[in-house]
Structure 1
Amino acid sequence: MPTREQMERNRFIRPYAHRVLRSELWRFTRRSVPRGVALGIAAGIIIPLGQIFVAAMLALPFRANVPVAAALTFITNPITTPFVWWFANWLGTVLLRMDEVTQVAPFSAAMQQTEFDKFLEWLTGETLVTAFGLVALASVCSAVSYLVSAWAWRWWIGRKRLRAMRLRRERLERARHAHAHVHAEAEAEL
């Protein structure tokens, strides 16, 4: 995981450093962390090269946490990439086969009209079937990871608050008990 100082020295990020290194993009908040998780996973799955750079740049308009987005691009690495591409190819084949069966064929028609198929192939460097599968996989994984990380964040904060309330209650009880003990001793002396 690159540090903030290393990112300042990176020649690709240096022109954008004043934006990427804003402090609010580096804080861990309940909104920025799930956004960073979703962006990092999407960039990690879809983008074949320069994933960290793309995730950091996407974090700007979405106000996502830059370190989280950059770290989660490592979801794809030399070990996991072949499995991700195999699954994306399988998923793309299934989705496009279902698209052919329907009379409207919304995926194929939309991609041919907008030339989205060429863009997908250029973006991912893969064939249309695999590229379509990568985008579908990234969309689902990003949405699920956003929801899971938002829920996990709330759960973690809730536990911290409950623990703090319990400790405050225990301190208050000890103080009451000590005060009652001192009061009882004072009455006993009288």
Structure 2
Amino acid sequence: MPKEFIKKWLPTPEKIRANKALGFLGDVLHEPNLWHINRHAVSKAFLVGIFCSFIPMPFQMVLAAFVAVWINCNLPLSVALVWISNPVTMPPIFYFNYLVGAYILGTPRMHFNFELSLSWVTEKLYEVGLPLYFGSLVCGIFFAVLSYAVVEYLWRRKIRRDWLHRQEKRAIRNK
């Protein structure tokens, strides 16, 4: 993963530090490791962002930000990756999580019609909640670790290719 591609899409640390709405974070935003774009910071950001995107909860971005600060990975990237589960993709992702959870727990899959009402949510949450959250945890861990490994692999592959390319250029020049 080239740094230039990632830098193009992420806000600069200065821009985020200048944001008055984030002033309550104080010196946390001045930690340089939260802004580094290197293999370790980006891989861990994918791990955090992908995992948080699979957990059905409000304020996923806040969770991703806290975890990113805690494990010292790229903060803007981990928060941005949470948007994998946006209002369009949430229903299929969470339904898939529910199916995985129901399969692993051995509970029968429920066929239900969704109603946007508090009574429906309180009645069905007990029946749907355990398979949904268990499946979300399993899928979140699986896809987070997979994305971490893929980013690590692609980043190392790019470094190796660049290194070999430089060696070839050096060999041509030295002839």
Gaps of 5+ in 1: 99-120, 174-190
CA apart distance, 1:17: 4.1
2:59 is matched with 50
Report the TM-score, using the length of structure 1 for normalisation.
0.68
Which structure has more RCO (C-alpha within 8 Å, separation ≥ 6)?
Answer: 2
1:66 corresponds to which of 75, 79, 85:
75
What residue identity is the alignment partner of 2:80? A
2:158 is matched with 156
Gaps of 5+ in 2: 1-8, 108-124
1:143 corresponds to which of 142, 145, 155:
145
1:76-107 per-residue CA deviation (whole Å, 9 max, x = no partner) reads: 11221111011011011011117xxxxxxxxx
The 8 Å contact of residues 25 and 63 in structure 1, kept in 2 or not, is answered as yes
| Gap change, CA 1:97 and 1:83, over 3 Å in 2 | same
1:188 is matched with none
Partner of 2:43, secondary structure, is helix
1:75 is matched with 84
Between the aligned partners of 1:162 and 1:52, the Cα distance in structure 2 is 39
CA apart distance, 1:7: 3.3
2:119 is matched with none
1:40 is matched with 49
Structure 1 residue runs of 4 or more that deviate by more than 6 Å after TM superposition = none
Between the aligned partners of 2:134 and 2:20, the Cα distance in structure 1 is 32
What residue identity is the alignment partner of 2:84? I
1:112-135 per-residue CA deviation (whole Å, 9 max, x = no partner) reads: xxxxxxxxx8xxxx7222111111
Between the aligned partners of 2:20 and 2:139, the Cα distance in structure 1 is 30
Between the aligned partners of 2:20 and 2:130, the Cα distance in structure 1 is 33
Partner of 1:64, secondary structure, is coil
Between the aligned partners of 1:10 and 1:42, the Cα distance in structure 2 is 28
1:170 is matched with 172
What residue identity is the alignment partner of 1:134? S
The 8 Å contact of residues 46 and 138 in structure 1, kept in 2 or not, is answered as yes
1:107 is matched with none
Between the aligned partners of 1:87 and 1:7, the Cα distance in structure 2 is 35
Report the RMSD for the aligned CA atoms in angstroms: 2.1
Between the aligned partners of 1:10 and 1:128, the Cα distance in structure 2 is 40
**1:5-154 correspondence to structure 2 within 5 Å:** 5-8=14-17, 9=19, 11=21, 13-97=22-106, 127-154=129-156
| Gap change, CA 1:2 and 1:50, over 3 Å in 2 | farther
